[in-house]
Homo-oligomer: A and B are copies of this chain.
Amino acid sequence: VDRVRLVDVAHAAGVHAGTASRALNPATRHEVSRQTVRRVERAAERLGYVPNAMARGLRTSRSYIVALVVPDITNPLFPPIARGAEQVLGQRGYTLVLTNTNNERETESAQIEAMRARGVDGFIVATARLVDPMLDDLGTSKVPAVLVNRYTDSGSLPYVGGDDRRGITLCVEHLAELGHERIVHLAAPADASTGRDRASAFRQAMRDRKLPLAASGIRVCSAITVAAGRDAMRRVLAKDRGFTAVVAANDLIALGALDAMAEVGLECPADISITGLNDAAFMDRLTPGLTTVHIPLHDMGVAAATAVLDLIERTNSEPIGQRLLPVELIVRESTRAAAVLSRPTRALRAAAP
């Protein structure tokens, strides 16, 4: 590479590399004569040598870089989180860098390791699995790190998320009030808290409403993508046409479900109502507009960045723990009253306050 290296500076100044290194390093400068320091500095300036990380690190002990690690940059969930985080970090003089793991553990490890080696000051991690030794390791190594959107069961790192369980409960209650009884849940993968909690909240909400859980009641998608949602809905529709509503664990999964319905000539909401979760960008502009749960993604980014800065700068001694931000049901056109109300449903609706 053509980048100016320390050896180039040393050569230009007519000194050994070790001498040039000591001359440019504030911690070791006193070991070299003033004249040499000046000669090396002039050579560095003339060649456009960029002071390297170590020299900077010794001056400030900080890189002023925080990394946000996301599983899938094409999921519209993450840009608002990144924007929120960046707003806080920028105000405090930090740069946010974002890396995308493609949901691959090896990629994630390599990225975090590379960034630790480059002296990144802290991490905001959106890729947590329930069992995640790599993140537990980050927790014990005392590198400032905060989880966002997903947490680990070990609880070794602070966490900021939306109240997913409440979100799914709101969806089930909304559908139940519209007279839906047979409701299918298209779940996110169960190895992450997002998948497990949303499915468990769905089960609980159905039980609370005394609605029976069909055999095809919960179908776990292989990923949180439109394609995985489509595939899961195809499988459900191949076996079961008796349900009238779908609670998707995520907006993208809901979009995939809409696609699978269209393939077999089913319409939303005429035939089947669908709810999403996240209220990602553009979900209000779809046909039909998606009824979904608004998760305060920007605020999650703000809260996660604030938490990681507290860890980096020790500005707050209180433990951060888990923090769940409130969510809100946004009713649009993808949900409507169940076409035919069965007798028990009518009784239920009459009994409702």
Contacts and interface: CB of A to CB of B under 8 A. Distances in A.
Interface string A267-294: 0000000000000011001110000000
Interface stretch (A21-29, A167-175, A198-206): A21-29
A125 to B, nearest CB: 14
A314 B1 contact: yes
How many copies make up the complex? 2
Interface in A248-262: 255
A110 B63 CA distance: 12
A1 B144 contact: yes
Nearest to A10: B27
B67 A97 contact: yes
A65 interface: yes
A116 to B, nearest CB: 5
A101 to B, nearest CB: 10
Contacts of A164: none
Contact of A86 (B51, B83, B102): B102
Interface string A305-327: 00000001110000000000000
Interface stretch (A71-79, A180-188, A209-217): A71-79
Given A96-B99, A141-B48, A90 B117 contact: no
B53 A31 contact: no
Contact of A63 (B118, B282, B285, B312): B118
Nearest to A116: B50
Contacts of A97: 67, 97-99, 115
14 contacts: A3-B61, A3-B143, A17-B27, A17-B28, A18-B31, A73-B79, A73-B82, A79-B79, A97-B98, A97-B99, A118-B119, A282-B285, A282-B286, A287-B287
Closest 9 CB pairs of A and B: A54-B54, A53-B53, A97-B97, A2-B142, A18-B28, A287-B287, A98-B98, A74-B79, A282-B282
